[in-house]
Structure formats: structure tokens, C-alpha cells
Amino acid sequence: MMLPTHALVGMALGLPIAVFAPELAPAALAGGLLGGVFPDLDLYSGHRRTLHFPTLYPVAAVVAAVVAVAVTAPVSVGLAVGIAAAAAHCRMDVYGSGLELRPWEGNSRRAVYDHVSGEWIKPRRLVSYDGSPGDLALAATVAVPLYLLVGWPYDAIVLVAVGVGASYTLLRRYLAELAPVVFGVVPGALSKYVPERYRNGETER
């Protein structure tokens, strides 16, 4: 799924804490936001493998939650929500599409790499692809309670995320055609950081 959806879902995980423990709201929301986007920092270096841990994040999230309950503080709460958001990110990617430039074609068998099993998890495609109307609908649905219940600056972040998501949804199919042209002229020294699918449009199976 697209990054704005991950960011909004991550923040939503911190929403109950923000509502019932306002003093912890900044830590919970910031942790959810950062944890929701963190796994995708591997976009240009082993995407959905380098920073995606679908089995390990949930285990770490349970440990972090226990610590946050035992020692309740902004740092422990923010860390617990952040790790839970990273775990949710990986699970969402499994229910989305695979690693391909045109995921609506449904050719890739790689959703997220599981380091514990040493295998790629196959995409479920409940949300057909990142930037699909279904993806945007999910982001918008999560955004409503967030916008209504969080204050500045998080309400602004919610609006920006929805705006970016809507723009990406409108342009998604055009970007797939443009990517091989743009990334095909990347200098050789940098080309190793560009996923193969961006350079030639082929599916990463």
C-alpha cells in the first residue's frame, strides 16, 4: 500500500492513547507516524526485505508494549506504538500487491520477505495495488477520526497525507509508464540503488 496509508494507520494505532492519555498524545502519534513509514526507507535498497520484518516486528511490539505498561513514559509509549505501526505496515503489504511496477497486472509472487522462514510471503491482493482507489478509500477512512480527534500539528499531517495519497492515486498508472524512462538514465554509479523494475519495467518475481 502507499506510504500515506501506512502513515495514517500508524498514527491511528496511537489514537486511543492520545484520547485517553492526552499527556502521551505527542509521543503516541509521533511514534505511530514514524513507525508506519519506517519500513519503506528500504525502497531503493532491497525493498520489502531490508527493513520489513513481518514476524519479528510483532514479537518486538509485544515486548515493547509490556515495557510501556510497566514503565509508562513518552519514550516507552512512542517506541511501543512505533514498533506496532511497523508490524502493521508489513502485514498491510502482505494484503496488498507484489513487487512490480504495474501491480494491477498481478504477476509478482513477492509481497514481503520473512527473515525467519527465509522466504517471500505471497501477496493476498485484498487491496489490489498501492495507489488503487481501494487504497485511497482505506487512507481516507482512517483519516476521518484522526482529523477529528488530534490537534495541531497532526491534523495538518493528516490532511497532507490524504492530499498526497489522492494525487498519487490519480497519477499511479502514469508514473508506472514514466519510471523506466526517468530511472533508465540514472548514472551507472547510482543505478545499483534503483530497483530493476524501475529501470526496465519488469516484474520482480
Q: Where are the domains positioned within the chain?
A: 3-179
pLDDT of residue 178: 82
How high is the pLDDT of residue 179?
Answer: 73
Q: What's the pTM value of the predicted model, to 2 decimals? A: 0.91
Tally of CB atoms within 10 A around 78: 25
pLDDT of residue 192: 61
* Structure confidence at residue 176 (pLDDT): 84
Provide the Cα torsion 148, 142, 17, 86; round to 10°: -150
- HEC-encoded secondary structure of the chain: CCHHHHHHHHHHHHHHHHHHCHHHHHHHHHHHHHHHHHHHHHCCCCCCCCCCCCCHHHHHHHHHHHHHHHCCCHHHHHHHHHHHHHHHHHHHHHCCCCCCCCHHHCCCCCCEEECCCCEEECCCCCCCCCCCHHHHHHHHHHHHHHHHHCCCCHHHHHHHHHHHHHHHHHHHHHHHHHHHHHHCCCCHHHHCCCCHHHHHCCCCC
In this prediction, residue 199 carries a pLDDT of 61
pLDDT < 70 positions in the chain: 182-205
Residue 196 has a pLDDT of: 67
pLDDT at 82: 98
* Closest to 154 measured CA to CA, from 35, 21, 32, 6: 32
pLDDT tens for each residue of 113-125: 999 999 999 999 9
The pLDDT score that the predictor gives to residue 135 is 98
